[in-house]
Structures are given as C-alpha cells and as structure tokens.
Amino acid sequence: MKDAHEGIISHHQFDFVQKMIKNRKRNFTKFKKHLFTNVVYCNDCGSGMWYRQNRVGYICGSYARHGNIACTNHAISEKELAQVILNDIDWMYNKISDKKFLSDVKALEKKRVHLNQKELNLIDDEINSIKVKKRRYIEINGFTCEVQNHKTQVK
Ligand SMILES: [Zn+2]
C-alpha cells in the first residue's frame, strides 16, 4: 500500500500525512456511553451529562453538541461523581437506621392514610347522593308518564 503512493508523494510526505491522521484520531474524543451518561443533568441548562474520555468525566450534553452558545465548558470527574453518590447512599443508609427518622416517616404515612380515607368517604357520600337523585328522577319520570297516559285515556 505504501509503495502505491511513491509515484505521487514522497515517503517523507506519506509518513507525515499518516502521522497527522493518527494525531487527529487521538485528539478527537467521541461521545461514549458511560455509567452516568444522561443520568446526571447539567445544573445550568438541564441537559444530560455525557462522558468524555479526555476529561475523565462528564460534560454538559448541550455544550458537547453546540459548544459555547449552548452552555459552559464545565465538567465533573467520574471519580468525584462516584464519591458524591457514595456519600449520598451512606447518608441515606444512616437516615434509615435512625429511629427518630423512621418514626417520623411512619407518622407521616399514618396521617396520609387517614387523609386518603377521609377523601374516600367524601367520594362515597357523593356517589350515594347521586344514586338517590337518580332514583328520584326515575320515580318522577315514571309518575309523569302515568299522568300523561291517564290524560290521553280521559280524552
Ligand atoms: Zn449545560
């Protein structure tokens, strides 16, 4: 393959071009799907964050697509992000183990169940009221028909 270019360009030029192609490939980092891609969102524009190998972390997806006009060139390293998530999990684990927190959650749940039951009772009352109205309407309608039949028979 290398010999095929000998007539057109020199060995030196061929090697130089090959080196340029190789360097270009090395500098261009592609979008790569990673653990937190589109799971973490940019605080400035709300776009999903994308992993970039050259940053060893995540950058704003809007910035990755459209550059400075869309967002800023901020990033979070994967290591830092993993640490933040681990800290959150740790915090949640400690909260769950905390007896006061658990009793607060149970009290809130009990209150919510009570409120839901109250709302259900109101809906049941409304349904019963509508059923009574419907029955009365049917009775009145039946009576009206009877009266009209009676009137036509009298004529
Ligand atoms: Zn952004």
Domain ranges in the chain are: 99-155
| AA letter at 60 | C
CB burial string 110-125: b at 16+ within 10 A, e below: eeeeeeeeeeeeeeee
Residue 60 alpha carbon to ligand 1 centre in Å: 5
Residue 92 CB-half CA count within 13 A: 6
> Residue 113 corresponds to which amino acid?
V
- Radius of gyration of the chain measured on its C-alpha atoms: 37
Residues with Cβ–ion distance below 5 A, ligand 1: 42, 44-45, 47, 60, 62, 71
- Complete DSSP assignment for 82-100: HHHHHHHHHHHHHHHH-HH
pLDDT digits (tens, 9 = 90+) for 58-116: 999 999 999 999 999 989 999 999 999 999 999 989 988 888 888 999 999 999 999 99
Mean per-residue pLDDT, 35-51: 91
Residue 81 CA, ligand 1 centroid: distance in Å: 16
From the CA of 47, how far away is ligand 1's center (Å)? 6
Extract the tokens encoding 51. 């992993």
Three-state SS at 17: helix
Which amino acid belongs to residue 14? F
Give mean pLDDT, residues 119-140. Answer: 96
CA distance 61 to 37: 9
For residue 27, is pLDDT > 80?
no
126 CA to centre of ligand 1 in angstroms: 50
Four-point Cα dihedral 81, 86, 90, 96, nearest 10? 90
Global pTM value? 0.45
Rounded distance from Cα 142 to ligand 1 centre (Å): 69
Show the tokens assigned to 154. 């009298």
